[in-house]
Amino acid sequence: MIALVFCGDLRYCPYISRYIERLEKAKKDYRVYFWNRSKFTLNLSDKYVYFDQGSDMSSGKVQKLLDFIKFRKWVITQLKSNHHEKVIALSTLTGVLLGSFLYKQKGNYVFDIRDYSYEHIAPFYRIEKKIIENSAFTTISSLGFKAFLPNHEYVIAHNFNRKDIIPEARFIKTEDKINFVWNGLMRYFEFQRLYLDALKNDSRFNIIYHGDGPELEKYKEYCEQNGFTNVQFTGAYNNLNKAQLLSEASILNNCYGYIQGAGNKLKYAVSNRFYDGIIYHIPQLVETEGFKPEWANKARIGVFFPPDSDFADKLYEYYQRIDAVAFDKRCNQELKKIIDEDDVYIKTIDNFIN
């Protein structure tokens, strides 16, 4: 039997679905162990086993550490008593928590890294390095992670859904207003406010936000108080409708903030929206620093410049200069690379579970 372990609420681990898909296709028995940290009401099959002790996210560091130690003790007891042959550790923190337990399973576990974590802390980094070196394979969701991880041969796990791919996707330049579109959770207001101000009531642009989230009301209140006439909020949407929503997007707003304010979590990561731009053939505006602009620039599928006084003119001119045929070709080239690397990821999972 194979164990999948995540040290948090399962809703924050969507990438577990790829492993479950491969396990079920291979007809392998498995169990998912996770921490119902937010005490959600759950209705899951007996394949899902969870640590049902809540932990307040606002607790102090000592209390949080004690809670993580309790989860660690619980999950290791579960793994030992159920005699799992192999383990898939989902997230850096999960792997480091299982540390010494995983070392003893050399070659019989997968380490899945999705974010920058606590690599700046020397003891944490040493444990992580040892886990990586002794894993059957370690996967990362961004090539940018190589900048802070130990030198190793990693497998790339792109954060995209192959079901979203539309073979006939094409870039069609609008002759009307340019729709500058955000899709996803409404966050990063203090940074996005700069783009709002830079495009405020510019007759060349519509600013559209698809999604809801913790800062939606802050966005709405700001636009109402400051007399914006070219901003639209459409609210929450079903992911099944994403293609339709993005069909009218001229440029994707894929900026999450300045690196100085958000630290390394933004610097090295690649957002799901980056893949949306490639899949649906939509040019995108990305941050001026980090791995995303590096990729966007190299592949020539996006642009980056700060929201300064001539931002609107720069964005407008960039859009007008896009050659549709050449842009479509570049998107197709990038998508092929992504699919090829995803094929390797799938094959590596299959080899491990079989």
Per the listing, tokens 């939509």 go with 282
Whether pLDDT at 261 is above 80: no
Pairing outcome for strands 251-254 and 231-235: unpaired
Residues 308-325 pLDDT 10s = 999 999 999 999 999 999
The helix (H) or strand (E) run that includes residue 44 is none
- 2-157: CATH topology is Rossmann fold (3.40.50)
pTM of the model: 0.92
Per-residue pLDDT, 258: 61
Whether pLDDT at 155 is above 60: yes
Take residue 142 and report the two structure tokens written for it.
């961004």
Domains 2-157 and 164-334 belong to one CATH topology: yes
Residues 240-251 pLDDT 10s = 899 999 999 999
Question: Which has more confidence, 258 or 228?
Answer: 228
- State the number of CA atoms in the 13 A half-sphere of 141 facing the CB: 23
CA distances from 70 to 79, 154, 175, 202, 289 (A): 14, 31, 59, 55, 39
Residues 3-40 pLDDT 10s = 999 999 998 999 999 999 999 999 999 999 999 998 88
Q: How confident is the model at residue 90 (pLDDT cuts 50, 70, 90)?
A: very high
- 164-334: CATH topology is Rossmann fold (3.40.50)
What ranges do the domains of the chain cover? 2-157, 164-334
Are 50 and 34 spatial neighbours (Cβ–Cβ below 8 Å)?
Answer: yes
Residues 6+ away with beta carbon under 8 Å from 57? 37, 38
Question: Which has more confidence, 252 or 39?
Answer: 252
